[in-house]
């Protein structure tokens, strides 16, 4: 409330200051008002008279010779004469004007209206509800953040120690397959994909090239390559597929390899087979479905009716429909490529708008970044990535997720 | 609450600008003395409000209020206080706010000091400045609002470009803007005169000091900018014909022309229409510069097209202001009454000659700056127009201008005798020959260096000769000369200083371009290298931690040919928040030139990459700039009425009309 009193006082002060002459002006009677037209010519004459005086001073100081001064004087006197003539003709023709216009009340009202418009504009733009937040007054928050970071780093330290213990144990007892798997998974969680590769590779070798371990190994290779499915990963995946393993990662990453080789249709076929065969409560289902939808829209591939599984609630953010729904997808299938492109751009910009209004939606940001990357707009993807990082600057877990997403999409991380 | 008061004050200043761009015109056309009194109050209120808003933003920066988006994006708690303050204008939004604050400052200064101006002229000048302020305030509030807030403020900001964390570049934008925006006063006077349909004597008396003040600031701003580039970018360059630099150089050229033609209007009542045109041109160049720098068009036409809101807005403002004022000029200028007459060979003639050359030079720079943009827009091809183009066009245009600069002040007004003037310059011609011989004997060339040194000598000696002839030095007792010197109007000293400053700049450019020597090498601790008679030794290295950076500092010991020992401590810094490296060159300046040392990274053999330069005469450039600024200030302090005495005709000579 205080703020409105201050802003109101400021408005009154400014309004009063500028309109003061109007209020005072009414007490000036019309005959007192000078004739501004003649006044201007009189001012000119005054300037010329000052110039003549200046010439005299210049002679005194020896800057001008008498001869130069005479020449200058004649010129100034000529100008005085012509101004004099104009004054004469002006007063003869009675050109002088009235100096009290009936516009004064109009000006007053106009100014007041403008002030009201200003207040309206501010209500639209400003955030009077937000207090100042100087850093000096935010000691509590800084403390809390520091503690959280300490807890985080303690946890990481403990985790790292556990990993170290585990790997020491495995050196003594290298045939512990579950141990290698645990070590690999832990290293993956710590973001040390290259070391995870070695752990999983041990498991693969010592298990007689078990399909499930091959799939884990492939995933660690792909992660270490920033999301690229290289020849090694592909070989491991294909071997795993032949071994009859049902690990969903195999088909998913083989699909990703197809997509990265430009064969998105094959990728979608693979993924659709994967989801249709999956249990309805599989935790990875929403992610793969999302991937299918995005790729299908981006490539304009009709997938209507091909997905037979009904996923559980896709998103854990409540109710809002964040992606294209089935009807939109079906409609998209019947469009020309241009129309489809337009629809995609429309949906992306809707999402961007929604996030602008309600930015506290990490999934939405991830989807937006991915969407920009898919429609081949790296600048905007970069921008969305920066904004998202900004938005969740105090959440290290989300930040890590965003940077791995950026790495996957090839967005430069600065 | 302070942040929101600032935001509201900014909105309220927009309202003031709306009133300021309408009410004064109504008042002036109705000649209502009460309404006319409102005009100055509007300008003053507008400045007070923008000032409040700027102060509020500064407060947010100083207190690190990260609920303001602009502070998040450009500040950090570990920044030293001085760079928290300069961070206010080291970004797009804040710098536009500074721009408008300076504009309203000038408008309110005109309002406060303009009581002796005809009230209707004053009102119209304020009105024109109100229209410009309105445009820019709308731009800020609609596309570049520095007061945007976030609900959940982060605990720290993203920092500021470390290249800008430097005292030289920190005060560079305010100076540059004082210059750019200062031309808006001359522009507003020009437009107001066109609307009034008359250029009265008070008009001329007003335009010159404002133009001069703007010119002084712009000169200082450009000088600071090039000095910063020299010591901070770390390879000894100082001017790159970069579009951003050109953007500040074009208004300077047009402003210099305007300054000189305003003298003719004030002293001789001639060249009015041309002066009005130059006033429009100088401010148009300022707006163009703002557009080029602020729209993103320079980084790439493509970047401009992806986020066109800002660019299109300024482009629209630019077209409206420039187009509108030029149309008004075309419509009204013919009705202006021409003033005094003069012959082609006269001081007026010399000033017109220089005006034309300066305008052509500005046009060449404009072409070289805009051509790549146009080409990229039309064909998508990216080219860059660099130093070869500018050197081969700019130098031939400016050479006759510099030669003529000596003649101008020596010629009387209205009509002059070229041979008599040449007679007075015998000493200057002798000095040029002497300097050429000495230069050839000492350095042996190159040809352009001889040419440049000759030109500088001609200008310097010619300028000093003019001044000594006015005080009759050596032509009477010294006492008389001293008395005459004291009596000489300060503007005469100003002319002398400014012209001599140009000569010093020309000499500095020539010398440093012709005789700079450089060497790049890897040195271990204790190793030496010899460059141009100087022995450079890498004595030691240390690392230390600054407030927001870590630095590696080298100690370079230099034995000069004159057996002196100099120690330089160049640094390489890495700013931790931004993760950006910068170089801090070690520079030893002296009257003969600079010794310049840069430390780089470690090479594969564990040695350190170092770069050394010996740059003769380069400090002359900034010294000359400083002398020009002093000359401008000296002339600015001269507030007398100025009348130019014409030379009497000895025979009946035909005269040409002034316009």
The more confidently predicted of residues B126 and A82 is: B126
Q: Which residues of B touch A100 (CB under 8 A)?
A: 32, 34
Provide the phi-psi class of B145: left if phi over 0, else alpha when psi is between -120 and 50, else beta: beta
Contact A22 B34 (CB under 8 A): yes
Report, as an integer, the average pLDDT of A257-278.
88
Using the CB atoms, write b or e for A272-293: b if 16+ within 10 Å: bebbeebeeebeebbebbbbbb
Within 8 A of A20 by CB-CB distance, chain B residues are 41
Question: How confident is the model over A67-94, as a mean pLDDT?
Answer: 72
Query: CB–CB of A166/A182 below 8 Å?
Result: yes
- Give me the residue spans of the domains in chain A: 2-19+36-94+101-125, 335-414
C-alpha distance from A50 to closest chain B C-alpha (Å): 7
- At residue B126, the pLDDT reads 95
Contact state of B34 with A54 under an 8 Å Cβ cutoff: no
Residues of chain A numbered 143-202 and touching chain B (CB < 8 Å):
145
- Please provide the average confidence, as pLDDT, over all residues in chain A: 78
Residues of B in contact with A111 (CB under 8 A): 19, 23
A353-362 CB burial, b ≥16 within 10 A, e <16: eebeeebebb
* A residues 34-73 lying closer than 8 A (beta carbon) to B: 34, 36-37, 39-40, 43-44, 47-48, 50-51, 53-55, 58, 61-64, 67-69, 71-72
What is the SS3 string spanning B476-543? CCHHHHHHHHHHCCHHHHHHHHHHHHHHHHHHHHHHHHHHCEEEEEEECCCCEEEECCEEEEEEEEEE
Both structure tokens of B444: 């042996």
Q: What is the C-alpha separation between B553 and B569, in angstroms, rounded? A: 6
The answer to whether A381 and A373 are in contact (CB under 8 A) is: yes
> How does DSSP classify residue B295?
S
Q: Please tell me the predicted confidence (pLDDT) of residue A315.
A: 43
- Which residue intervals of A62-100 are DSSP H helices? 66-93
Among A71, A362, A377, A394, pick the best mutation site for testing chain B contact (most B Cβ within 10 A).
A71
Nearest-neighbour CA in chain B from A330: distance (Å): 31
Q: What are phi and psi of B449, to 5 degrees?
A: -70, -40
What pLDDT score was predicted for residue A30?
A: 44
Q: Specify whether the CB–CB gap between B585 and B570 falls below 8 A.
A: yes
Chain A residues within an 8 Å CB radius of B38: 18-19, 21-22, 107
Torsion sign across C-alpha atoms B577, B578, B581, B584: negative
Residue A334: CB partners within 8 Å, gap ≥ 6?
none
Residues of B in contact with A128 (CB under 8 A): 4
Contact B643 A51 (CB under 8 A): yes
Please give the pLDDT value at position A325.
55
**What does the alpha-carbon distance between residue B444 and residue B432 come to, in Å, rounded to a whole number?**
16
Pairing of strands B528-531, B586-589: unpaired
HSE at residue B76, side-chain half, CA atoms within 13 A, is 16
Taking CA atoms, B94 is separated from A128, B2, B54, B87, B224, in Å, by 21, 17, 8, 8, 20
Strand partners, B286: none
Closest chain A residue to B78 measured between Cα atoms? A135
Chain B residues within an 8 Å CB radius of A134: 63-65
> Which of the four pLDDT bands, split at 50, 70 and 90, describes residue A387?
confident
The answer to whether residue A23 neighbours chain B at the CB level (below 8 Å) is: no
Kindly identify which residue of chain B lies nearest to residue A65, measuring between CA atoms. Answer: B645
ipTM computed for the complex: 0.80
What are the pLDDT digits (tens) for A188-204?
Answer: 877 788 888 989 998 99
State the Cα torsion A171-A176-A179-A183 to the nearest 10°: 50
pLDDT number for residue A98 = 46
**What pLDDT does residue A32 have?**
42
Contact between B301 and B373 (Cβ < 8 Å): yes
Give me the pLDDT at residue A310, please.
66
Are B265 and B207 contacting, i.e. CB atoms less than 8 angstroms apart?
yes
Cβ contact (<8 Å) for B15 and A107? no
What tokens were used for A160?
Answer: 């790292």
CA distance A383 to chain B (A): 12
For Cα atoms B538, B166, B177, give the angle at the middle one, nearest 5 degrees.
145
Tell the burial category of B131 from Cβ atoms under 10 Å away from its Cβ (0-12, 13-18, 19+): buried
The helix or strand, by DSSP H or E, that contains position B599, with its residue range, turns out to be strand B593-602
| Max mean pLDDT range (A205-219, A308-322, B52-66, B637-651) | B52-66
Backbone angles phi, psi at B571, to 5 degrees: -130, 155
Residue A93 phi/psi, 5-degree rounding, is -80, 0
Q: Do A6 and B5 touch (CB under 8 A)?
A: yes
Contact between A121 and B33 using a beta-carbon 8 Å cutoff: no
Write down the pLDDT at residue A90: 60
Which of B45, B483, B487 is closest, CB to CB, to A17? B45
Sign of the C-alpha dihedral computed for residues A370, A371, A372 and A378 taken in this order: positive
Q: Under DSSP, is residue B10 helix (H, G, I), strand (E, B) or coil?
A: helix
If you count residue pairs, one on A and one on B, with CB atoms under 8 Å apart, how many are there?
A: 206
Q: 10-residue block means of pLDDT along chain B (659 residues)? A: 93 94 89 86 95 96 91 86 88 90 94 83 93 93 90 82 79 88 93 84 80 93 88 78 84 92 81 89 90 69 58 85 91 75 81 90 88 80 79 88 86 80 84 87 82 89 86 77 80 89 91 86 86 87 85 88 86 82 85 86 83 88 93 84 60 43
pLDDT for residue B630: 94
Summarize pLDDT for A327-375 with one digit per residue, the tens: 555 555 556 666 666 777 777 777 888 888 777 778 888 888 887 877 7
Q: Which among B290, B211, B212 is positioned nearest to B247, based on CA atoms?
A: B290
Q: Are A163 and A187 in contact (CB under 8 A)?
A: yes
> Is the model more confident about B295 or about A138?
A138
Residue B335 gets which letter from DSSP?
G
Q: Which of B519, B571, B513 is nearest to B546 (CA)?
A: B571
Mutate to test the interface with A, among B641, B642, B650 (most CBs of A within 10 A): B641
Write the DSSP assignment of B358-421 as a string of letters: HHHHHHHHHHHHHHHHHHHHHH-------HHHHHHHHHHHHHHHHHHHHHHHHSPBS---HHHH
Pairing of strands B534-545, B528-531: antiparallel
Token pair of B310 as six digits: 């800002």
Angle at A256 between CA A252 and CA A260, to 5 degrees: 175
- What class has domain A335-414? mainly alpha
Structure tokens belonging to residue B199 = 């250029």
């Amino acid at each position: 409330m205080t703020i409105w009193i201050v802003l109101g006082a400021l408005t009154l002060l400014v309004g009063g200051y500028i309109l003061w002459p109007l209020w005072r002006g009414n007490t000036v009677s019309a005959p007192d008002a000078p004739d501004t037209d003649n006044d201007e010519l009189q001012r000119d004459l005054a300037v010329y008279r000052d110039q003549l005086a200046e010439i005299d001073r210049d002679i005194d100081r020896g800057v001008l010779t008498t001869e130069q001064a005479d020449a200058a004087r004649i010129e100034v006197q000529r100008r005085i004469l012509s101004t004099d003539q104009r004054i004469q003709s002006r007063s003869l023709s009675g050109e002088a004007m009235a100096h009290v216009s009936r516009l004064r009340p109009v000006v007053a009202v106009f100014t007041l209206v403008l002030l009201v418009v200003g207040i309206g504009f501010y209500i639209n733009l400003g955030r009077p509800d937000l207090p100042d937040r100087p850093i000096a007054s935010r000691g509590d928050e800084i403390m809390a953040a520091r503690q959280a970071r300490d807890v985080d780093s303690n946890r990481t330290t403990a985790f790292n120690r556990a990993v170290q213990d585990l790997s020491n144990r495995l050196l003594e007892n290298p045939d512990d397959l579950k141990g290698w798997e645990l070590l690999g998974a832990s290293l993956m969680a710590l973001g040390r994909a290259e070391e995870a590769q070695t752990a999983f590779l041990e498991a693969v070798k010592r298990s007689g090239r078990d399909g499930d371990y091959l799939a884990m190994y492939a995933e660690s290779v792909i992660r270490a390559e920033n999301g690229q499915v290289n020849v090694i990963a592909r070989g491991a995946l294909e071997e795993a597929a032949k071994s009859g393993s049902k690990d969903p990662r195999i088909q998913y990453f083989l699909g990703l390899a197809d997509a990265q080789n430009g064969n998105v249709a094959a990728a979608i076929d693979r993924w659709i087979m994967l989801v249709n065969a999956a249990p309805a409560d599989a935790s990875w289902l929403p992610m793969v479905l999302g991937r299918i939808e995005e790729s299908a829209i981006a490539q304009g591939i009709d997938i209507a009716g091909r997905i037979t599984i009904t996923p559980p609630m896709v998103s854990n953010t409540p109710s809002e429909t964040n992606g294209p729904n089935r009807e939109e997808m079906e409609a998209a299938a019947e469009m020309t490529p241009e129309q489809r492109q337009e629809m995609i751009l429309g949906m992306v910009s809707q999402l961007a708008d929604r996030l602008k209004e309600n930015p506290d939606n990490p999934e939405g940001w991830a989807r937006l970044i991915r969407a920009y990357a898919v429609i081949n707009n790296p600048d905007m993807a970069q921008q969305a990535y920066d904004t998202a990082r900004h938005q969740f600057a105090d959440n290290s877990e989300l930040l890590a997720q965003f940077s791995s997403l950026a790495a996957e999409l090839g967005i430069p991380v600065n | 609450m302070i942040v929101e008061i600032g935001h509201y004050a900014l909105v309220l200043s927009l309202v003031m600008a709306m009133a300021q761009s309408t009410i004064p015109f109504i008042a002036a056309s109705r000649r209502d003395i009460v309404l006319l009194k409102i005009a100055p109050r509007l300008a003053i209120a507008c400045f007070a409000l923008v000032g409040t808003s700027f102060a509020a933003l500064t407060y947010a920066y100083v207190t690190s209020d990260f609920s303001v988006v602009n502070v998040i994006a450009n500040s950090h708690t570990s920044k030293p206080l001085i760079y928290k303050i300069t961070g206010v204008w080291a970004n797009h939004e804040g710098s536009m706010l500074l721009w408008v604050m300076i504009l309203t400052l000038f408008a309110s200064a005109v309002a406060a000091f303009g009581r002796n101006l005809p009230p209707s002229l004053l009102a119209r000048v304020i009105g024109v400045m109100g229209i410009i302020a309105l445009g820019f305030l709308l731009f800020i509030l609609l596309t570049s609002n520095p007061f945007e807030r976030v609900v959940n403020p982060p605990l720290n900001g993203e920092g500021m470009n470390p290249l800008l964390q430097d005292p030289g570049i920190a005060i560079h934008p305010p100076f540059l803007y004082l210059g750019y925006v200062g031309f808006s006063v001359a522009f507003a006077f020009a437009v107001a005169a066109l609307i009034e349909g008359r250029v009265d004597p008070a008009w001329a008396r007003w335009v010159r000091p404002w133009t001069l003040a703007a010119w002084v600031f712009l000169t200082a701003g450009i000088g600071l900018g090039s000095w910063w580039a020299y010591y901070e970018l770390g390879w000894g360059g100082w001017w790159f014909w970069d579009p951003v630099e050109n953007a500040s150089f074009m208004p300077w050229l047009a402003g210099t022309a305007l300054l000189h033609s305003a003298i003719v209007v004030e002293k001789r009542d001639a060249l009015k229409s041309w002066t009005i045109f130059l006033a429009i041109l100088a401010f148009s160049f300022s707006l163009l510069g703002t557009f080029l720098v602020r729209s993103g068009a320079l980084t790439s036409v493509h970047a401009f097209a992806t986020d066109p809101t800002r660019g299109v807005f300024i482009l629209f403002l630019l077209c409206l202001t420039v187009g509108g004022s030029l149309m008004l000029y075309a419509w009204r200028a013919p009705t202006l009454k021409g003033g005094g007459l003069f012959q082609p060979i006269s001081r007026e003639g010399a000033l017109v000659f220089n005006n034309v050359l300066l305008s052509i030079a500005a046009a060449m720079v404009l072409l070289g700056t805009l051509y790549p943009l146009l080409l990229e827009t039309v064909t998508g091809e990216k080219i860059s127009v660099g130093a070869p183009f500018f050197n081969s066009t700019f130098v031939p245009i400016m050479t006759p201008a510099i030669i003529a600069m000596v003649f101008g002040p020596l010629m009387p007004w209205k009509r002059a005798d070229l041979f008599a003037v040449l007679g007075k310059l015998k000493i200057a011609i002798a000095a040029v020959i002497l300097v050429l011989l000495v230069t050839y004997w000492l350095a042996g060339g190159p040809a352009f260096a001889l040419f440049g040194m000759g030109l500088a000598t001609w200008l310097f000696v010619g300028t000093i000769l003019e001044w000594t002839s006015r005080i009759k030095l050596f032509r009477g007792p010294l006492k008389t000369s001293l008395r005459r010197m004291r009596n000489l109007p300060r503007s005469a000293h100003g002319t002398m200083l400014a012209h001599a400053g140009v000569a010093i700049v020309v000499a500095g450019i020539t010398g440093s371009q012709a005789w700079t020597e450089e060497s790049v090498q890897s040195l271990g601790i204790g190793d030496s290298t010899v460059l141009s008679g100087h022995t450079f030794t890498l004595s030691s290295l240390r690392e230390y931690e600054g407030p927001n950076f870590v630095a590696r500092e080298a100690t370079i010991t230099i034995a000069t040919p004159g057996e002196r020992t100099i120690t330089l401590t160049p640094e390489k810094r890495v700013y931790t928040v931004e993760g950006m490296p910068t170089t801090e060159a070690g520079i030893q300046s002296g009257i003969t030139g600079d010794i310049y040392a840069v430390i780089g990274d470690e090479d594969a053999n564990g040695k350190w990459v170092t770069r050394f330069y010996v740059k003769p005469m380069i400090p002359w450039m900034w010294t000359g700039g400083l002398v020009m600024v002093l000359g401008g200030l000296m002339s600015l302090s001269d507030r007398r009425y100025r009348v130019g005495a014409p030379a009497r005709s000895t025979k009946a000579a035909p005269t040409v009309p002034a316009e």
